[in-house]
């Protein structure tokens, strides 16, 4: 049995009998006006963060969500795109698709605005998406891509890049880990399916995203997630795992490399009204400007003593230099 078959078995069982917190710290339940989320949908909330952000969802976008779970984020996306087929949900586990359909019928009873036809559920997987080229505005996955081994992760990223329109957005939430893991942990297919031992270091995760062509990447949140202790797992040391929320934008790749925002800020406090670096960045006197890591490095290389550049906060909420 391959690790992907093991994963399918884990989530087949989770579809048939909801398991609160099965693999993850359950993701946020946004309290949007007029939105009522069915209890069974909440119980099947298998994620490590959130991929739903109103600034990604203007103008009723077409949204693709891979790995549907109980359908909570599908319903949240439909809140912003209230038209037939606007939200496409793809899953390889037929039982999960059936459970999501049932949950949508309950959601329709609880929400006057919602129609099940807003959501198009399709059988398929992240490695072979049943979606046309450049046909969606936003693609999303929550605690799925971390399960893939490296070659499959690259394929999944290439597939989402393929289906996104130019300037479309891939919004993801995944566990990451900066510490090495034992071969025994990495080889444990069930722990991989439970969103634990497939976790990559953040920089490697970001590199894989940009290598498939995404020109802009936003690290929007980074938070504590899980601990693997020697008392419970095959490790000689305590391993700390974080979860990260990232948005990768299908912008053209800049000649000097991708713009990656990790929550850095530049502040000019010199004697002039503003500082122009003649590379497209104007810093007003004592006004914070969000900058990508590339711009932060270029400003630091100027060697000035009147520019403050913050370290990465791993929180980014828009705006800035690029």
pLDDT digit string (tens) for the chain, length 322 residues: 588 888 778 778 777 665 555 555 455 566 789 999 999 888 887 788 899 999 999 999 999 999 998 899 999 999 999 999 999 999 999 999 999 999 999 999 999 999 999 999 999 999 999 999 999 999 999 999 999 999 999 999 999 999 999 999 999 999 999 999 999 999 999 999 988 999 999 999 999 999 999 999 999 999 999 999 999 999 999 999 999 999 999 999 999 999 999 999 999 999 999 999 998 899 999 999 999 999 999 999 999 999 999 999 999 998 876 5
> And the tokens for 9?
């078995």
Q: 155 — phi, psi (to 5°)?
A: -65, -45
Q: How far apart are CA 284 and CA 282, in angstroms?
A: 6
Place of tokens 């590339």: 294
- Which residue from 293, 280, 288, 279 is spatially nearest to 307, judged by alpha carbons? 288
Cα separation, 94 vs 8, whole angstroms: 10
Q: Are strands 259-261 and 239-249 parallel, antiparallel or unpaired?
A: unpaired
The token duo for 15 is 């579809």
User: Mind listing the pLDDT tens digit for each residue in 40-58?
Assistant: 888 887 788 899 999 999 9
**In angstroms, what CA-CA distances link 3 with 62, 193, 204?**
31, 8, 21
Question: What is the spatial distance between Cα 117 and Cα 105, in angstroms, rounded to a whole number?
Answer: 10
Structure token digits, residue 170: 């891939």
Q: How far is CA 120 from CA 74, 171, 231, 274, in A?
A: 10, 19, 44, 51
151's CB contacts (< 8 A; 6+ apart) are none
Residues 6 or more apart in contact with residue 147 via CB below 8 angstroms: 3, 7, 192, 193, 195, 198
Are residues 60 and 81 in contact, defined by beta-carbon separation less than 8 angstroms?
yes
Beta-ladder partners of 139: 64, 170
């Amino acid at each position: 049995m391959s690790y992907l078959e093991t994963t399918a078995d884990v989530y087949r069982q989770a579809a048939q009998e909801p398991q609160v917190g099965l693999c993850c710290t359950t993701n946020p339940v946004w309290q949007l006006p007029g939105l009522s989320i069915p209890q069974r949908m909440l119980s099947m909330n298998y994620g490590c963060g959130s991929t739903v952000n109103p600034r990604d969802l203007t103008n009723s976008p077409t949204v693709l969500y891979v790995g549907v779970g109980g359908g909570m984020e599908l319903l949240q996306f439909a809140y912003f795109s209230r038209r037939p087929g606007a939200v496409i949900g793809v899953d390889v586990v037929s039982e999960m698709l059936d459970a999501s359909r049932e949950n949508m019928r309950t959601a329709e009873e609880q929400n006057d605005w919602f129609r099940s036809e807003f959501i198009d559920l399709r059988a398929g997987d992240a490695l072979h998406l049943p979606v046309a080229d450049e046909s969606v505005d936003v693609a999303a996955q929550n605690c799925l891509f971390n399960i893939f081994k490296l070659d499959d992760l690259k394929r999944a990223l290439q597939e989402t890049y393929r289906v996104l329109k130019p300037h479309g957005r891939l919004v993801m939430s995944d566990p990451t880990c900066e510490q090495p893991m034992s071969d025994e942990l990495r080889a444990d297919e069930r722990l991989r399916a439970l969103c634990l031992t497939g976790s990559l270091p953040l920089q490697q995760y970001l590199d894989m995203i940009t290598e498939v062509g995404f020109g802009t990447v936003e690290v929007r949140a980074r938070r504590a997630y899980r601990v693997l202790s020697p008392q419970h797992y095959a490790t000689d040391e305590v391993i700390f795992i974080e979860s990260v929320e990232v948005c990768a934008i299908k912008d053209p790749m800049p000649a000097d490399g991708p713009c990656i925002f990790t929550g850095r800020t530049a502040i000019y406090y010199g004697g002039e009204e503003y500082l122009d670096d003649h590379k497209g960045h104007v810093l007003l006197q004592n006004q914070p400007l969000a900058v990508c890591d590339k711009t932060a490095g270029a400003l630091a290389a100027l060697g000035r003593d009147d520019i403050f550049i913050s370290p990465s906060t791993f929180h980014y909420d828009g705006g800035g230099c690029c």
